[in-house]
Structure formats: structure tokens, C-alpha cells
Homo-oligomer: A and B are copies of this chain.
Amino acid sequence: MEKKYVHGYTPRESARLVDQATTLAEILHHDTAYPAGSRVLEAGCGVGAQTAILAGNSPGARFVSVDLSGESLRAARENVDAQGFANVAFHRCDIFRLPFADESFDHVFLCFVLEHLPDPAEALSSLRRVLKTGGSITVIEGDHGSTYFHPDSAYARRAIQCLVDLQAAEGGNSLIGRRLYPILRESGFRDVSVSPRMVYVDSGKPGLVEGFTKNTFIAMVEGVGDRAVRAGLTDETDWGRGIRDLNRTTGEDGTFIYTFFKGTARK
């Protein structure tokens, strides 16, 4: 099954993903560390934005990072090599047909992957097969429906909805964060616990205004503008207003809120 990726595979998108992970690393990953000697599967590593953080936080663990895109894997390998980590092996494969023996990993990790899959529960079941009994799974996803801001704007909300709709048309679900708890349970995991990670931004936090609201979130929305217009979901005038109004939330009196969800569970 060919995995579609709503944000595309351009170099600019790769840069955005790396920036995004660097900005969010502390919020999302500070409490993920694997013991020395443990074997960890990173499913859907993409361009390696999270891989380098994982490898750095758990220098004694051995990571196997897989993705369906050979191009992304090359970028991931370059990214990880450039940072001097030697504890990551890369494999090109499909999450739904993993070429690994049952119960061959101590832990499984995936981040921003389920949102792009038509059947996230099936993916989790496939990952559960290769996880040892008692081993942990960690799943991080966003939820675009968690977004709100001041000043509020129907145009800005509509621009975000275009991204939600495009992702849904490709079989994904960008509102998946709120569903992590039931999906993990439906996939047979136990001890499921979900921890929301809110990013709250006001002008007292200039690093987040730049690093999150502008360079991560608005950049992500802007990246689908041409396709949203071509798909008839909006027109250029309304789209431009939406992006303008999103940028207004980065002003002195603006606020911007988005929430990621981090789920952990055991097999």
C-alpha cells in the first residue's frame, strides 16, 4: 500500500519537519528514554526529525528506524549521521508488513504517523506483533481540531479546515490526537495512558511565536495552499485572508493554542 503524505516530500518540507521537532523536542520527548541495550523500533521515521532526538536521549539503546519512503530514509540517515549518532539502523519497509520476527523489539515508538494512515488501529496491531510482551509503545500525534487563537477568525479556521479536509481525502485523520486512548485499547494494548502536551503561545513567549506558531504551524498550513485552491476547498482570496489572520495571532495581543497527545501503553 502506497502511503500518501499530505505535506509532500519537498526539501522545504524536510526543513520544516526538522525545525518543528527541534522546537517541540522538549515538550514532546523530554520524558522518553530507553534503557541501555534495549532494542527500539521507530515506525515511520520520515526524515529523521525525531530519530536524532530519540538517539540522543537514549544513547545506550539501539534504534531500528523504518519508513516507506527511500528518499525520506536517505535524509534521515544524513541527519542522524551529521549529529554523530551511531545507534540507529535504517530499513525501508511498510508498517503493515514489518519484516521482523514476533516479539523482537523491547519498545516501539512512533510520532506523527497514525494521522496519515487510513487504518491506524491496524498499524498498531502490526506493531504490537513485533513488540515483546511487557514492552512499551509510545505514540505521539497532533490534533488540528485542538487549534484556537486570538483574534479569532473564520477565515483562519477555514484555512486550517482545508488542511484537515485534504488529509482526510488522502485517508488520514488530523484529528487523531483525541482518539489515541481508544485506538490504543482497541489494538490490544493495556495500561494505556494519554498525556496531552499543550503548546500555549502569547507574545511573552517570542521563541514559541517564531518557532511554533509561525515556523511550524502556519508554515504547515501555508504548504497546502495551492492544493487547497486546486481542490476547490477555497479560493485565493479567502486563503490569503486565512493566512493573514493566522499571522495576526503572532502579534503583540495575539495568542495561539495547539495540543499534541502522547500515549503510552504496554503489550
Q: DSSP class of A's interface residues: helix, strand, loop or mixed?
A: mixed
Stretch touching chain B among A30-38, A143-151, A234-242: A143-151
Count contacts on A: residues with CB < 8 A to the other chain: 29
State the copy count for this chain: 2
Q: Is A198 an interface residue (CB 8 A)?
A: yes
Residue-wise interface mask of A (149-167) relative to B, using a CB-CB cutoff of 8 A (1 in contact, 0 not): 1101000000000000000
Q: Is A87 an interface residue (CB 8 A)?
A: no
B198–A194 touching, CB < 8 Å: no
8 Å CB interface, A179-219 against B: 179, 181-182, 185-186, 192-194, 196, 198, 200, 202-204
Our pick among B152, B182, B200 for the contact of A255 (Cβ within 8 Å) is: B182
Q: In the assembled complex, which residues on chain B have CB atoms less than 8 Å from the CB atom of A148?
A: 143, 145-146, 175, 178
A253 to B183: give the CA distance in the assembly, Å: 8
Given contacts A178-B150, A179-B150, A257-B146, contact A202 B196 (CB under 8 A): no
> Interface residues, chain A, CB within 8 Å of chain B?
143, 145-146, 148-150, 152, 175, 178-179, 181-182, 185-186, 192-194, 196, 198, 200, 202-204, 252-255, 257, 259
